[in-house]
Structure 1
Amino acid sequence: MVHRTWRRAAILVAGLLTLSLTACSEDSPDAKDLSGNRAGAMTGYGVGDQFTATEPVSFSILYNNHPNYPLKKEWAFWSELTRRTGVTLEPVAVPLSDYEQKRSLLIGAGDAPMIIPKTYHPQENAFVSSGAVLPVSDYLDLMPHLKDRIARWNLQPEIDSLRQSDGKFYLLPGVHEKPTAEYSLAVRADILDQLGLAVPRTWDELYTVLKAMKARYPDSYPFSDRWSRPTPGGSLLNILGASYGTSGGWGYQHATWDPSAGKFVYTGATEQYKQMLQYLHRLVAEGLLDPESFTQSDEAARQKLANGRSFVIGANAQTLVNDNRPDLAKNRPDARLVKIPLPVGPAGEINPASRLEGGIMISKKARESAHFVAMMQFVDWLWYSDAGQEFARWGVEGTTFTKDATGRRVLAADVNVVGLNPKADRHLQKDFGFYNGVFAYGGTTELVQSFFSAEEREFQQVMNARRPLPVPPPAPLTDDEREQASLWETPLKDHVTQMTLRFVLGQRPLGEWDAYVAELRAKNAQAYLDLVNKAHERYRKDNG
């Protein structure tokens, strides 16, 4: 399982940085001179328009070939896309397992396709200095749907977080109207009922619940977690870190923005990070959290839950339905497992998910094409318009789905996806090519949640009522600074990871926290912060 989420620090000075959407396009002479690149482009293309090329065009695209739905030339996605837009896509298929490596090789050799999707910030950084990918911020005026969404959904801080030291950004991100939180905890509701306890709303209440479970079942570890390979405590430290106003696990970032100080601070040395470790250590010390949670396989964690040796586990919508409930049904058919809203911690009622996700780079050679403007209009329609996103996700009305009297989409009875019609003969992804991760991401909350179960929509409703995490101000490094920072980051992160486990498991007393912070300084934590804060000040001075 690949976990790709854009992580952010928990706090931000309001209004510290506001940048015009069109600042870069106004300043770039290259972006203005497009007179020879408008073949096939629409005149007056705007928000709500169906893009249709004025002549047949074709664009090469790097295609992430997923083993769950291998590429087929006969998919309706390809033919219907051409019928609607006049565009034929020429996929350069690369296996999912080799995608990042092959992408780098193709770009480095100058052989990259024109459209390069499935790129996650900051992966684009590696290709900026060579000029191999375009500064797409120069061309936002060609993309009315994306510009409209940035403005209407107040996405400017997120977009600014993508900018490089030149003030431009090189990745067209997937954008969401609201953040979609995936990960939380699943709890045995039947055990809660047995103990006369309510679903815990806070991490402190979870502690109380775990204590009661331990008292009733003393031979158990009430909480035994998964998702700890290859990142120890990957999911647990990630969601708990957000609740404490810091970052950890999958989402660990070296620098956290501190508004009171007006600068970035080193995450692994903050008081918030220490408090998070103190909470976890307490759970381990009292036998409430399985110490193997930070190292065991997912299968081991699943079996402990299935066998009644634990009652709480990390979960998302898919693992709850596909793994944990079937596991329990075999051994404990009366068990009821529910995914609870993320428990609230010192940071308050927050939604830690980002409104951005992986996006698209545009190869430099695309700029030389006579069809460049048409290509940017096409990208804008397919990935950022309501119609394009519905098409990519649901397919063709009357074939793969219908709409009821209220306008709600209903999957065709003979088509299955995410278990909605398990007995259907055909599959939306495998047989039609829709709901494909290369094309289907981002969008309105209604569209993003349109395949969700009623249970998951209730979870999202609770999470969407919480405030999203603000985005830290940009601090883009130059190429030389990035090279230096990369030399410091690995040893720093390794030390934070190792000491995190030792503190949590009681192998190192938390009374040695000051000594640990000194060890981080000796590994260049302060020099790293000086570099980041210098970059932040430079960017703020240059861009307002």
Structure 2
Amino acid sequence: MFKKKLVPLTLAFVLMMTTLLACSSGGSDGTTSPSPSTTPGGSTTPAGKEEPLKLSIYYPDNATLPFKEDWLLIQEIEKRYNVDFSFEIIPLADYPTKVSLALNTGTNAPDVILNQMTVGENASLALNGALAPISDYAEWTPNWNARVEEFGLKEEVAKLNLKDGKRYSLPSLFDKPFYDGGLIMRQDLLKKHGLAAPKTFDDLYTALKTFKQENPDSYPLTILAGARVLYRMTMPSFGVSVGKNGASGTNTLSWDYEKKEYFPGAISDQYKQYMTYMAKLYKEGLIDPEMAEPIDGDKWAQKLATGKSFASYAYYDQIGGVEASATEPGFDLQMYPPLEGPDGAHHQPKSSTGSGILFPTKTSKRADFERIVRTIDEIFFSEEGATLAALGVEGQTYTMDGSTIKYPDDIVNAKEGIYKAMQLKYGLGADPLQLVWVNEREMTKYDENYRQINKVVAGMDQAIQSIPPSPLFDDMTAEEASSLQTPLFDTFQIWADAFLTGKKDLNADWDQYVKEMKNLQIEKFNQLYNDNMAK
């Protein structure tokens, strides 16, 4: 009996295995498929047979670095990590609004949002259920976790938790903040006019005034991308940081680094003093009136290259391109450390954590959410992924000579410099796509001059202050703060433009402005922030 039952079972088993092998066969040539392997999502499928992970992504497009879907970085990511990205390219100026609308509606949100932080309205939206609390899935982000440990950022990361104790973003990570942009001037013209390198804002005024006298049709100080760049790089020396790129993300509040509390910066004496300085530059024709609107990179470079402007606030990697376009003999641009103002010499605040990745709640409802998170973690935070985003493909965009990084001649000799050439041609070092920043590695993309400038800035007292901490709002308080923030910012922007251009007088009309901001409850807005700071 036993043997009679065994034979049919054995035959059945053989037939089953034969069928399985036939199904997995590569065809009549006798080849077989690879053995099964575990995918990032935990499922077991034949290696090489898994469908690409399809992801829709919001990407903020910067006029100085136009997005290209055929960038080497994008192609390599899709190939190496078996993903199929569908990018929605959104102008940088419109990006926060687009993100807000998507998260408010929920259904129109992409799978992944790049280059965002959970402050201001995003914090409110997170607490109201628009974002997935990524800290709940820590076991799915092993590479990000390892980077936090490596860079010693546990305390910094903890500050990103919201009122519910959860974190809703995978922020970019920096081992050290570095001075990547600031005041850029024609060093050759400083020497020509017998002027020393400026150290204070009074020195800057003198240099701009001198250039204007020699070139009456010029606007000595121009700005790359618009007023927001100028404001965020210079306001801190006056003890305030407000506006579209204000350090706190509130647009109208500033952080007191000594008292460790918020104050209504938009109506402060510090802001009034700052705008008085800028309005003087505008009135005397020392500042580019076109800065009210974003100035694209080509137009900006042309202004400096042709002598229409003498100085700018911009980024060091832009210098090479301008110098290559210049026709004057001896043309020499240089970047300088932060200038000293009434509050000291400070640049825009930076953190060891920055804008990063958000996952809308809709994404967390996908059956493959674990695969999504693990794949994103590997793409942006693994050693391979981080190196790819920073340097590209070994043998193509760089080589290693022992421990020394070498770049090919076409990149080294690019008129715009190594850093910018790698960005423009390959997408390498594009902020939304590079989320791990290692200072020593980044310095290899710059010249010795830049490395020395960074050493000087590192030796200055709090030249680069930290990003102000975020309050621990619950969802109701976050919603209340958000409802106050929008009208305050709208009014602030109108008055800021009027004060700068002289449409409103900073002395005669200041009280009216303050009254309007108080009527919009800026003091209550400020109190909400201070009352909800971590104790």
- TM-score range, shorter-chain basis? 0.7 to 0.9
Q: Is the 8 A contact 1:220 1:310 kept in 2?
A: no
Separation in 2 of the partners of 1:363 and 1:70?
23
Separation in 2 of the partners of 1:345 and 1:457?
24
| Residue matched to 1:95 | 89
| Residue matched to 1:477 | 473
* Structure 1 residues 203 and 439: alpha-carbon distance in aligned structure 2, compared to 1, 3 A threshold: same
Q: Is the 8 A contact 2:276 2:506 kept in 1?
A: no
* Structure 1 residues 485 and 509: alpha-carbon distance in aligned structure 2, compared to 1, 3 A threshold: same
| Residue matched to 2:314 | 315
- 1:107-126 CA-partner distances (Å, limit 9, x unpaired): 95558665543434447446
1:462 to partner: Cα distance? 3.4
Kindly report which structure 2 residues correspond to 1:232-311, keeping only aligned pairs within 5 A, or say none. 233-252=227-246, 253-258=251-256, 263-284=261-282, 287=284, 289-290=286-287, 292=289, 294-295=291-292, 298=295, 305-311=304-310
* Structure 1 residues 281 and 437: alpha-carbon distance in aligned structure 2, compared to 1, 3 A threshold: closer
For 2:320, give the aligned amino acid.
V
Kindly report which structure 2 residues correspond to 1:169-248, keeping only aligned pairs within 5 A, or say none. 169-214=167-212, 217=214, 219=216, 223-227=220-224, 229=226, 233-248=227-242
Q: Is the 8 A contact 1:476 1:535 kept in 2?
A: yes
1:159 to partner: Cα distance? 2.7
Q: 185-194 or 346-355: which moved more? A: 346-355
1:412 to partner: Cα distance? 7.3
Is 2:385 aligned against 1:391?
no
* Structure 1 residues 211 and 401: alpha-carbon distance in aligned structure 2, compared to 1, 3 A threshold: closer
Kindly report which structure 2 residues correspond to 1:38-77, keeping only aligned pairs within 5 A, or say none. 40=39, 59-64=53-58, 68-71=67-70, 77=76
Q: Is the 8 A contact 2:499 2:506 kept in 1?
A: yes
Kindly report which structure 2 residues correspond to 1:126-145, keeping only aligned pairs within 5 A, or say none. 127-129=125-127, 131-145=129-143
Q: Is the 8 A contact 1:243 1:350 kept in 2?
A: yes
Separation in 2 of the partners of 1:511 and 1:416?
54
Is 2:476 aligned against 1:489?
no
For 1:279, give the aligned amino acid.
Y
Q: Is the 8 A contact 1:390 1:447 kept in 2?
A: no
For 2:315, give the aligned amino acid.
N
| Residue matched to 1:530 | 527
For 1:529, give the aligned amino acid.
N
| Residue matched to 2:80 | 81
| Residue matched to 1:33 | none
* Structure 1 residues 154 and 244: alpha-carbon distance in aligned structure 2, compared to 1, 3 A threshold: farther
Q: 401-410 or 503-512: which moved more? A: 503-512
TM-score, normalisation: structure 2: 0.73
1:494 to partner: Cα distance? 3.4
| Residue matched to 1:11 | none
| Residue matched to 1:448 | 442
| Residue matched to 1:360 | 357
Separation in 1 of the partners of 2:422 and 2:220?
37
Q: Which ranges of structure 1 fall in alignment gaps of 5 or more residues?
A: 1-37, 44-52, 83-87
Q: Secondary structure at the match of 1:187?
A: strand
1:429 to partner: Cα distance? 7.4
* Structure 1 residues 267 and 511: alpha-carbon distance in aligned structure 2, compared to 1, 3 A threshold: same
1:213 to partner: Cα distance? 3.6
- 1:54-82 CA-partner distances (Å, limit 9, x unpaired): 96665433345776422489975147524
1:272 to partner: Cα distance? 1.8
1:418 to partner: Cα distance? 8.3
For 2:457, give the aligned amino acid.
M
Q: Is the 8 A contact 1:245 1:347 kept in 2?
A: yes
For 1:264, give the aligned amino acid.
Y
Q: Is the 8 A contact 1:142 1:373 kept in 2?
A: yes
Q: Which ranges of structure 2 fall in alignment gaps of 5 or more residues?
A: 1-36
Q: 429-438 or 350-359: which moved more? A: 429-438
Q: 100-109 or 146-155: which moved more? A: 100-109
Match of 2:334 among 331, 334, 338: 338
Match of 1:117 among 111, 114, 118: 114
Separation in 2 of the partners of 1:389 and 1:345?
37
Q: Secondary structure at the match of 2:384?
A: helix
Q: Is the 8 A contact 1:76 1:432 kept in 2?
A: no
Q: 72-81 or 261-270: which moved more? A: 72-81
1:171 to partner: Cα distance? 0.7
Separation in 2 of the partners of 1:408 and 1:39?
35
- 1:70-105 CA-partner distances (Å, limit 9, x unpaired): 2489975147524xxxxx213233234597748965
Q: Is the 8 A contact 1:210 1:223 kept in 2?
A: yes
Q: Is the 8 A contact 2:200 2:339 kept in 1?
A: yes
Match of 2:160 among 135, 159, 162: 162
1:177 to partner: Cα distance? 1.5
Q: Is the 8 A contact 1:184 1:239 kept in 2?
A: yes
Q: 407-416 or 240-249: which moved more? A: 407-416
Separation in 1 of the partners of 2:516 and 2:418?
56
For 2:160, give the aligned amino acid.
L
* Structure 1 residues 62 and 71: alpha-carbon distance in aligned structure 2, compared to 1, 3 A threshold: farther
* Structure 1 residues 173 and 73: alpha-carbon distance in aligned structure 2, compared to 1, 3 A threshold: closer
1:173 to partner: Cα distance? 0.7
* Structure 1 residues 436 and 211: alpha-carbon distance in aligned structure 2, compared to 1, 3 A threshold: closer
1:214 to partner: Cα distance? 4.7
Separation in 2 of the partners of 1:519 and 1:132?
32
1:390 to partner: Cα distance? 0.6
Residue identity (%): 24
Q: Secondary structure at the match of 1:489?
A: helix
1:170 to partner: Cα distance? 0.5
- 1:188-221 CA-partner distances (Å, limit 9, x unpaired): 2122111222211222322333344455x27355
Larger radius of gyration: 2
Q: 188-197 or 167-176: which moved more? A: 188-197
1:395 to partner: Cα distance? 3.0
Separation in 2 of the partners of 1:89 and 1:161?
32
Q: Is the 8 A contact 1:40 1:54 kept in 2?
A: no
For 2:80, give the aligned amino acid.
L
TM-score, normalisation: structure 1: 0.72
Q: 73-82 or 380-389: which moved more? A: 73-82
Q: Is the 8 A contact 1:59 1:114 kept in 2?
A: no
Separation in 2 of the partners of 1:141 and 1:96?
32
For 1:401, give the aligned amino acid.
Y
Q: Secondary structure at the match of 1:298?
A: coil
Is 2:495 aligned against 1:499?
yes
For 1:531, give the aligned amino acid.
L
Q: How many residues align?
A: 476
Separation in 2 of the partners of 1:429 and 1:205?
34
Separation in 2 of the partners of 1:384 and 1:93?
20
1:527 to partner: Cα distance? 2.3
* Structure 1 residues 293 and 128: alpha-carbon distance in aligned structure 2, compared to 1, 3 A threshold: same
Separation in 2 of the partners of 1:190 and 1:414?
26
